[in-house]
Structure formats: structure tokens, C-alpha cells
Amino acid sequence: MSGEDKAWEIIAGLFPEDVCRRTGADFDDASRIYLLEVFGTRFSLDPQKREIKNLAPEGEIFVKRLRYFFVLSFLWYMVKASDAGPAGKLIKPSSMPGGDIFFRGSHVLPLEGIAKKYGHDRAGFRERGHAFGGREVLYGDAAVEFLPFPMIPVTVVLWLADEEWDARADLLFDASALQHLPIDILWSVAMMSVLVILQLTTRGQTVFCRRKQPFSDTPSTRKFYGGKLVAALQQAFQRTDEAASIICKGIPKVHRNLFRCAC
């Protein structure tokens, strides 16, 4: 059973009152559907149909382009979130138990992309943050606090480039994050938070990564790359956004001749 199927199974057996108390979700008794705000946009979750829908156009990016990160994070948030409030202390992922996952292969957050894209554009960074429900906070040269989920604030900090220093960006969790989700799901939350800032606002502007030939899902590729990465690659190489090139970074250089890749 996949992690997604397991989460759906657990959610179907939960008491809605408890879920809403822990997660900040609402529950409609008539339709038996949960409603939750993610990155400032409302989504519905139907446990019977095993379906998550965006209720506003702004949410389409999550159910389509970022589905690989979004669905599993959403489901396990509904299962695992506690009623613990924010600690009010920001920490780097590297300081969390198991935080080394953020520094391995394709798990490395593409924060350098934010620095490159917005290193001279404070206003653009803020505007992009506001578009996904972020609020400005006082860190670095500019910083935005997102609510990927109601109990899990994430802060993305930008330091602008100047004559002496290159631009850089960082991502911080509230210290309570591990009380709500395990570290591997927090990684997906962090990746979403970075990619919503990096995503193209319109389709078809730049092809960041495109396979020259279809990616074959065979026992040998699964043995080499691992099943999860194979699944990610199959989704990534059908798209024309930054997520594709980010995932592609996990491919060893010896195999890069299979790609036309900007990453």
C-alpha cells in the first residue's frame, strides 16, 4: 500500500470533530467533505471519493504542477497534525532531527533559484509571496511567512545582492513543525514553499527540462534511481516548469546525456 493510499484509509476512519480541532479545517456535514486553506487558497477533501479539489483558480498550481508534493503533504497533515500552537521560534531544517534529508541529492531545496530570480527584485519577491497568502515579516532584506497548512508556518528569507555579496535565500520552520508532520513530509512542504515562488506565472515560457526519449519504468531504472524518484521523473518530464529541473538534479552526471536540461 502506498503512503497516499494509507493516508486516505486512515482519514476515512477519523472523527471529523477531532480532525477540525487539530488541523484548522472545516467539515460540511451534508456533503461529508473537509475544507482547508492552503497557501491562502481553499481546497476540499472528499474522503469517500478520495479526491482533493481546488476551490479557486489560484489553487490549480498545487493539484496539477505541484501535485507530487502537495497531495501527500495534505493527506498526512490531516492525519498527523496536533493541536499544538506555534512555538514562535524559527529554526533551519538542518537543525531538526533527520534534517540531513534536506541536503541529499534531489532533496536539496532550490533556494539558489529564488536568490537568482529575485536577488535584485525585492518587490517581485514580495508580490509573489502575497499571491499565495504570504505576509511580510522582518527578516533579511525581505521575508514572507506562508501558511502551507494552518498549523505549519514557513518563512522564506531573501538577502539581496550588492557589490560585496551575492544574493541568497533561506527557509525556516516554526520550531513546532515536527509536532505536526514527520521530517520527510516537512520536506515536501518546504519544496512546495520554494516552488510556488519559482513557478512561471504563465505556461510555455521556458522549457527547463525535457527528456529526449520517454522515461522507461523498468526494474533496472527502479533499482538505480529508486521507485519514488522514478515516479517523480515520470511526472517531471511531462512538464515545462522549474519543478522538472529541480528533480533532475538528482540524476548522476553520467546520465545527463539523456536530457536537454538547464539545471
Q: Which domain holds residue 238?
A: 202-263
Residue 210 lies in a domain: yes
**Type of residue at 89:** K
- Report the domain count for the chain: 2
CA distances (Å), origin 262, targets 2, 60, 100, 141: 32, 25, 26, 28
Write down the pLDDT at residue 250: 47
Task: Return contacts of 4-13, CB within 8 angstroms, 24+ apart.
Answer: 4/71, 4/72, 4/75, 7/72, 7/75, 7/76, 7/78, 7/79, 8/47, 8/50, 8/75, 10/79, 11/45, 11/47, 11/75, 11/78, 11/79, 12/47, 12/48
What are the beta bridge partners of residue 157? 143, 170
Please give the residue that has the higher pLDDT: either 254 or 234: 234
**What distance in Å separates the CA atoms of residue 22 and residue 32, rounded to the nearest whole number?**
17
Q: What is the DSSP letter of 42?
A: E
Residue 60 lies in a domain: yes
**What distance in Å separates the CA atoms of residue 157 and residue 109, rounded to the nearest whole number?**
13
For the chain, give the percent of residues with pLDDT over 90.
63
Least confident stretch, 45-59, 70-84, 182-196, 205-219: 205-219
Q: Which residues contact 218 (CB under 8 A, 6 or more apart)?
A: none
Q: Where are the beta strands (DSSP E) in 201-253?
A: 209-211
Residue 169 lies in a domain: no
Number of H helices, E strands in the chain: 10, 11
Q: What is the DSSP letter of 58?
A: G
Q: What is the 3-state secondary structure (H, E, C) of 141-174?
A: CEEEEEEEECCEEEEEEEECCCCCCCCEEEEEEE
Last residue of a domain, one of 80, 108, 132: 80
pLDDT over 90 at 232, yes or no: no
Residue 243 lies in a domain: yes
Last residue of a domain, one of 80, 103, 138: 80
Report residue 2's pLDDT band, with 50, 70 and 90 as the boundaries.
confident
Residue 37 lies in a domain: yes
Residue 256 lies in a domain: yes
What is the per-residue pLDDT across 116-152, written as a single tens digit (0 to 9) for each?
999 999 999 999 999 999 999 999 999 999 999 999 9
What are the beta bridge partners of residue 210? 260
Residue 55 lies in a domain: yes
Residue 54 lies in a domain: yes
Last residue of a domain, one of 80, 111, 129: 80
